[in-house]
């Protein structure tokens, strides 16, 4: 089936009218409070400050327009090598995180029973004294759960936890553990390599969310544009293989709706055909090592199980073999199964067969530029790793639990009993800026600044062709009685006992950042002036960071591991007879895993394919819906072996008839007025199945059944005719015929 990009670009144009949607106006309030101007501020004159976006781990460079002490507008920093002046919607919406009326405005102490949500304000002196007392009581038995950390802040938090004798656990639900595990299996490195989209002329993507949440979304969008139209007489092609049409698939030249969990089998089938071709484009020198992997399955069996026809597999093999600069990429739904690492390992092997490692347009590893001033980052924990933490908590290992910029009670399904970490804790301290499901269980809240009020730096020293460190400065004075988490840890760390780590000996996080930057810049200082650093520091603040010359590409060489790997079929939770549908919850483009749900600009941004706003919806193939009497907007009950949710149905032609897809992001019980009690959290339906090798939660491994409730759901969409046009242009019968006929119409 050939679903072309132009069809969907016509339909996506409606997404620019988000602020005009009827029924949502009452949810938008004036977020910007009056901020007293500083004596040196000239009324009516704007100042621009370079900083770093804190809305996701990508760390894009930003420029913030400030007038009379108030941040007014955010744009991308054109000097920053990651985003090059571009910025996504989440970056723009960070203004609403700064001025959100539901921010925690000062230290709080629990006033009722844990979980009742009753807190009373206290002073910082009281809060720090209470926390210090607990640290001394539970020395060596503390745990910190944190969102992604980088640069000096990561160094401070790690040093503090080492000092008090407890583990720092990084939780980031968007990290693709299966991809990292597959790269390690194939190349012997636990990193995400650079897939050179910009210089490729043929991208074979097995579900990788290239234009959604993959790595740096802005950087990937820039690379995609370069691939498409950045080179004279060269227009790269994108083929997207996944069961549901994502935004990446909608922009692809072809979308192939493969059977869920069989992406690795398709890669094996393509590999078989590549190895039979005798042209010089195939890496014949390495081909002798691959038969065990690629010939483990009969090609006819692959056609049957993937539901991709032989002609289509052959076409993909021919195109991948004949392209000048092809690259195979995998992620997203391909990673979300119990065989995710195995599938991605097979996909990576396609790049090795075509000798696309270390080549422009292929898979690249760069020379390391990580200086000693920054300690290595803590690797994020997989969801299976939480089971080990829970077992340790059950044994009394963690009576003191800390939270920082993460909400595991919302981002981890109940089938993984992470709540026990909180129930077993004698005392819980949260540094979060908003009251969320996890912070609601805290005994003490010491709120951190939001990113636009804080000093920080963000390192990209081992990512991308150009090494970079972004430098973030406060663009406004703190609005409320909050403190930087680094400042608080330094103060408490110094007061506990002797032998405090050097990084904690600084007075403030700003001082620690300056010290690290002096060490960083001194490596490149070529002057003998005594005040060189002050001059360089001011220049880096104006520029928004430091970026060095392009690094050389490094081939894996002798680190390359044997491709021998046992492929296993995907497992599913739920009997197919009782639960006939596959279930796929996917991160919302605007809200992510729910961290953006308290920002009304993001709530009001229409989903680019369904145009839904302010809600959760269940995507269902129109023919499946009509056969069950389910109309657009009807409330359907989606039931898994672990519970049920009632969700409004959206007839979505870009989905297999045997698949139900629901965006993640809504369903908060608390998290401010814009997020609380809105929609549902589809993670509640998932079972505790994991990728065999990486421990990643297999989010696509749960089966469900659906039934009409006879009620109409609350669903706000842009004009319905766009969806009807989409259905007519694609052809619902054509999709279903293609799938039933294994790719033959």
Mean pLDDT of 198-218: 93
Average pLDDT, the chain: 86
* pLDDT score recorded for residue 213: 87
Task: State yes or no: pLDDT of 742 exceeds 50.
Answer: no
**For residues 475 and 452, is the Cβ–Cβ distance under 8 A?**
yes
Mean pLDDT of 468-484: 95
Residue 72: pLDDT band by 50, 70, 90 thresholds?
Answer: very high
* pLDDT score recorded for residue 522: 87
Task: State yes or no: pLDDT of 530 exceeds 60.
Answer: yes
Counting beta carbons within 10 angstroms of the beta carbon of residue 414, is it exposed (0 to 12), middle (13 to 18) or buried (19 or more)? middle
The CATH homologous superfamily to which domain 177-367 belongs is: Dimethylsulfoxide Reductase, domain 2 (3.40.228.10)
Architecture of domain 572-740: Beta Barrel (2.40)
* pLDDT score recorded for residue 247: 95
Q: Where along the chain do the CATH 3.40.50.740 domains lie?
A: 108-170+372-461+468-547
Check residues 744 and 508 and name the one with the higher pLDDT.
Answer: 508
Q: Where along the chain do the CATH 3.40.228.10 domains lie?
A: 177-367
Displacement of CA 734 from its chain's centroid (Å)? 33
Distances (CA, A) of 249 to 341, 576, 654: 22, 27, 9
Tokens 């002073």 correspond to what residue?
123
> How do residues 621-666 score in pLDDT, each as one tens digit?
999 999 999 999 999 999 999 999 999 999 999 999 999 999 999 9
Task: State yes or no: pLDDT of 739 exceeds 60.
Answer: no
DSSP state of 154: H
* pLDDT score recorded for residue 191: 82
Check residues 42 and 537 and name the one with the higher pLDDT.
Answer: 537
Distances (CA, A) of 245 to 104, 527, 634, 657: 39, 56, 22, 12
* pLDDT score recorded for residue 291: 59
* Chosen CATH of 108-170+372-461+468-547 out of 3.40.50.740, 3.30.450.20, 3.30.1490.100, 3.10.620.30: 3.40.50.740
Task: State yes or no: pLDDT of 11 exceeds 50.
Answer: no
> How do residues 160-186 score in pLDDT, each as one tens digit?
999 998 999 999 999 999 999 988 887
Distances (CA, A) of 216 to 40, 45, 198, 340, 548: 37, 33, 14, 21, 19
* pLDDT score recorded for residue 261: 96
Residue 33: pLDDT band by 50, 70, 90 thresholds?
Answer: very low
- Lowest mean pLDDT, pick from 177-186, 296-305, 514-523, 526-535: 526-535
* pLDDT score recorded for residue 46: 82
> How do residues 333-358 score in pLDDT, each as one tens digit?
999 999 999 999 999 999 989 989 98
Residue 278: pLDDT band by 50, 70, 90 thresholds?
Answer: low
β partners of residue 47: 66
Mean pLDDT of 214-224: 90
Residue length of the chain: 745
Task: State yes or no: pLDDT of 4 exceeds 50.
Answer: no
* Tokens matching residue 147: 């969102």
DSSP state of 434: B
**For residues 486 and 405, is the Cβ–Cβ distance under 8 A?**
no
Mean pLDDT of 10-18: 36
CA distance 93 to 95: 5
Mean pLDDT of 244-260: 96
Neighbour count for residue 577 (Cβ, 10 Å): 7
Which of 250, 715, 216, 676 is CA-nearest to residue 468?
Answer: 216
Which residues have C-beta within 8 Å of that of residue 411, sequence separation ≥ 6?
171, 173, 593, 594, 683
Neighbour count for residue 339 (Cβ, 10 Å): 27
Q: Where along the chain do the CATH 2.40.40.20 domains lie?
A: 572-740
- Lowest mean pLDDT, pick from 500-514, 524-538, 720-734: 720-734
């Amino acid at each position: 089936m050939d679903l072309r990009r132009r069809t969907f670009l016509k339909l996506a144009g409606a997404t620019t009218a988000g602020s005009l949607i009827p029924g949502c106006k009452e949810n938008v309030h004036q977020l910007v409070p009056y901020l007293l101007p500083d004596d040196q501020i000239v009324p009516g004159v704007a100042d621009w400050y370079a900083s770093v976006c804190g809305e996701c781990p990508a760390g894009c460079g930003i420029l913030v327009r400030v007038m009379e002490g108030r941040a007014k507008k955010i744009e991308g920093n054109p000097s920053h090598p990651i985003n090059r002046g571009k910025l996504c919607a989440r970056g723009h919406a960070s203004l609403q995180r700064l001025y959100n009326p539901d921010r925690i405005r000062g230290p709080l102490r629990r006033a009722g029973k844990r979980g009742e949500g009753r807190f009373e304000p206290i002073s910082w002196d009281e809060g720090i004294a209470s926390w210090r007392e607990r640290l001394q009581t539970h020395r060596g038995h503390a745990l910190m759960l944190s969102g992604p950390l980088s640069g000096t802040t990561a160094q401070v938090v790690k040093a503090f936890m080492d000092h008090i004798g407890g583990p720092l656990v990084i939780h980031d639900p968007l990290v693709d553990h299966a991809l990292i595990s597959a790269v390690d299996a194939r190349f012997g490195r636990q990193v995400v390599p650079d897939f050179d989209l910009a210089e490729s002329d043929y991208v074979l993507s097995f579900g990788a969310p290239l234009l959604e949440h993959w790595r740096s979304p802005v950087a990937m969008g820039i690379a995609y544009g370069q691939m498409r139209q950045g080179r004279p007489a060269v227009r790269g092609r994108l083929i997207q293989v996944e069961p549901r049409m994502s935004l990446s698939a909608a922009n692809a030249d072809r979308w192939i709706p493969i059977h869920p969990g069989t992406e690795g089998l398709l890669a094996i089938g393509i590999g078989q055909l590549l190895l039979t071709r005798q042209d010089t484009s195939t890496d014949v020198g390495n081909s002798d090592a691959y038969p065990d992997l690629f010939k483990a399955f009969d090609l006819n069996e692959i056609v049957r199980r993937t539901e991709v026809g032989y002609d289509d597999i052959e076409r993909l093999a021919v195109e991948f073999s004949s392209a000048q600069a092809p690259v195979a990429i995998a992620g997203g739904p391909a990673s979300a199964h119990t065989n995710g690492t195995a599938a991605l390992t097979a996909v990576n092997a396609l790049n090795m067969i075509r000798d696309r490692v270390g080549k422009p347009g292929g898979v690249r590893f760069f020379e390391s530029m990580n200086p000693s001033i920054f300690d290595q980052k803590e690797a994020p924990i997989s969801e299976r790793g939480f089971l080990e933490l829970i077992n340790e908590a059950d044994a009394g290992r963690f009576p003191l639990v800390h939270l920082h910029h993460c909400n595991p009670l919302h981002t981890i399904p109940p089938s993984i009993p992470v709540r026990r970490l909180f129930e077993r804790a004698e005392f819980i301290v949260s540094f979060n800026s908003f009251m969320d499901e996890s912070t609601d269980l805290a005994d003490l809240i010491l709120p951190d600044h939001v990113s636009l009020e804080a000093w920080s730096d963000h390192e990209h020293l081992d990512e991308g062709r150009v090494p970079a460190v972004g430098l973030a400065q406060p663009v406004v004075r703190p609005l409320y009685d909050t403190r930087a988490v680094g400042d608080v840890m330094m103060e408490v760390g110094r007061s506990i006992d002797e032998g405090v780590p050097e990084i904690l000996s600084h007075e403030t996080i700003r001082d620690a950042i300056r010290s690290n930057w002096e060490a960083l810049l001194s490596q490149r200082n070529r002057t003998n002036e005594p005040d060189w650093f002050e001059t360089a520091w001011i220049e880096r603040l104006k520029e928004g960071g430091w970026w060095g010359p392009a690094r050389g590409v490094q081939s894996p060489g002798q680190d390359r591991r044997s491709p021998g790997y046992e492929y296993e079929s995907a497992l599913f939770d739920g009997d197919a007879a009782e639960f006939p549908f596959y279930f796929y919850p996917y991160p919302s483009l605007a809200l992510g895993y729910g961290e953006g749900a308290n920002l009304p600009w993001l709530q009001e941004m229409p989903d680019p394919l369904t145009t839904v706003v302010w809600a959760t919806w269940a995507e269902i193939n129109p023919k499946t819906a009509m056969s069950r009497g389910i109309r657009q907007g009807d409330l359907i009950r989606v039931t898994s072996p672990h519970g049920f949710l009632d969700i409004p149905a959206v007839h979505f032609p870009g989905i297999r008839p045997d698949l139900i897809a629901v965006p993640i992001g809504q369903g908060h019980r608390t998290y401010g007025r814009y997020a609380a009690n809105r929609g549902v959290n589809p993670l509640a339906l998932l079972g505790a199945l994991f990728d065999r090798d990486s421990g990643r939660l297999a989010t696509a491994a749960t089966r469900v059944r659906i039934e009409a409730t006879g009620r109409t759901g609350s669903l706000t969409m842009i004009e319905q005719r766009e969806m009807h046009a989409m259905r007519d242009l694609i052809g619902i019968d054509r999709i279903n015929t293609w799938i039933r006929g294994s790719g033959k119409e």
